[in-house]
């Protein structure tokens, strides 16, 4: 599927729509350049789940954990990862063993240590908006 998003609000709405379509344990790769809207999409997903706190990119922490009722959501940003083996040091498998939804930005940085995703979302700048491709 390919769609055009002409605003940050539409990117958040796509995230909210995604929340309404997913259930159970899911691994989602988010691909795209810096500033293209990956975290904005996750924010929309979290808002639809009922989370009202601040949603920021986990660039420096590598992972942010959100709990909404019984739902666990992990948001990873691997941009600053220098070696994929670092994922073993943070216990990445422990996150994936949980009944949780995991979003991973910059999944190419974890190649060889990440399982295959259930979904891949690619965002790219197009004109004044964003092109989103969803597998």
Query: Exposed, middle or buried: residue 36 (CB in 10 Å: 0-12, 13-18, 19+)?
Result: buried
Q: Looking at the domain that runs over 2-134, which CATH code has it been given?
A: 3.40.50.300
pLDDT of the chain along its 135 residues, tens only? 899 999 999 999 999 999 999 988 999 999 999 999 999 999 999 999 999 998 988 877 889 999 999 899 999 999 999 899 999 988 999 999 999 999 999 999 999 999 999 999 999 999 989 999 998
Whether the pTM exceeds 0.85: the reply is: yes
Per DSSP (E only), the strands in the chain are 2-5, 26-31, 63-68, 71-77, 100-105, 119-126, 129-134
Task: Supply 106's token pair.
Answer: 């910059």
What is the residue extent of each domain of the chain? Answer: 2-134
DSSP conformation letters of 88-99: HHTTHHHHHTSS
């Amino acid at each position: 599927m390919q769609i055009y998003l002409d605003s940050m609000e539409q990117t958040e709405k796509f995230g909210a729509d995604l929340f309404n379509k997913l259930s159970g344990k899911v691994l989602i790769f988010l691909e795209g350049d810096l500033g293209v809207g990956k975290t904005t999409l996750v924010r929309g997903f979290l808002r639809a789940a009922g989370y009202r706190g601040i949603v920021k990119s986990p660039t420096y922490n590598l992972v942010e954990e959100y709990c909404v009722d019984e739902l666990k959501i992990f948001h990873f940003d691997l941009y600053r990862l220098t070696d994929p083996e670092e994922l073993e040091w943070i216990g990445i498998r422990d996150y994936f063993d949980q009944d949780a939804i995991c979003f991973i930005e910059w999944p190419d940085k974890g190649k060889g240590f990440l399982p295959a995703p259930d979904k891949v979302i690619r965002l790219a700048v197009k004109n004044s908006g964003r092109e989103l491709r969803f597998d």
